[in-house]
């Protein structure tokens, strides 16, 4: 599968520092990003089997390369109204020691390379809970774009991680 690569200006002298690779996607009308380190792969969304008595944002489970994964809809989890009514076409497969999950996205995500200095963490004053504070790592400034950088695995509460594990 081909991915579009967004190229950013190289850091200027004095601003050089570690670079971070992000995968950028849209939820509703806003752009969101995950660290590429959290993403194992991007696949076409397979058939999803709904699991009874799970929250609405857990769409069900799917078999991805022989592994059964819980599939999450972040638009539902965040209460975002979708601007695109088509079915989600791609799944970002995330993997950690606690859980492996798939996140639905409607369009092919893009990659973006940024410097650590491009992440504004001071905007955490708008967050209302400690869980949100752990899930939202900051706002990425890239030209005129503002991208919400999230930690997808941190956003899953302990209870949700247990629900995901039970559904498998």
Give the domain ranges of the chain: 18-167
Q: Quick check: 53 and 32 in contact, CB under 8 A? A: no
pLDDT by residue (tens digit) across 107-159? 889 999 999 889 888 655 455 545 455 678 889 988 899 999 998 777 765 55
Rounded to two decimals, the pTM is 0.77
Q: 3-class DSSP state for residue 124?
A: helix
pLDDT at 110: 93
* Cα gap 140→101, rounded to integer Å: 24
Top CATH class of 18-167 equals mainly beta
């Amino acid at each position: 599968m081909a991915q579009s690569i967004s190229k950013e200006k190289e850091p200027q002298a004095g601003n050089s520092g570690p670079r971070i690779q992000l995968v950028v996607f849209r939820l509703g009308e806003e752009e969101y990003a995950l660290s590429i380190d959290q993403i194992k792969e991007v696949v076409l969304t397979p058939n999803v089997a709904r699991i009874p008595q799970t929250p609405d944002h857990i769409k069900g489970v799917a078999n991805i390369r022989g592994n059964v994964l819980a599939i999450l809809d972040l638009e539902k989890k965040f209460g975002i109204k979708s601007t695109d009514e088509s079915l989600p076409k791609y799944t970002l497969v995330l993997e950690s020691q606690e859980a492996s999950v798939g996140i639905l996205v409607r369009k092919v995500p893009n990659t973006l390379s940024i410097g650590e200095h491009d992440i504004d963490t001071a905007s955490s004053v708008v967050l209302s809970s400690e869980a949100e504070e752990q899930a939202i790592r900051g706002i990425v400034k890239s030209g005129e774009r503002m991208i919400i950088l999230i930690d997808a695995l941190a956003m899953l509460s302990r209870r949700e991680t247990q629900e995901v594990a039970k559904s498998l």
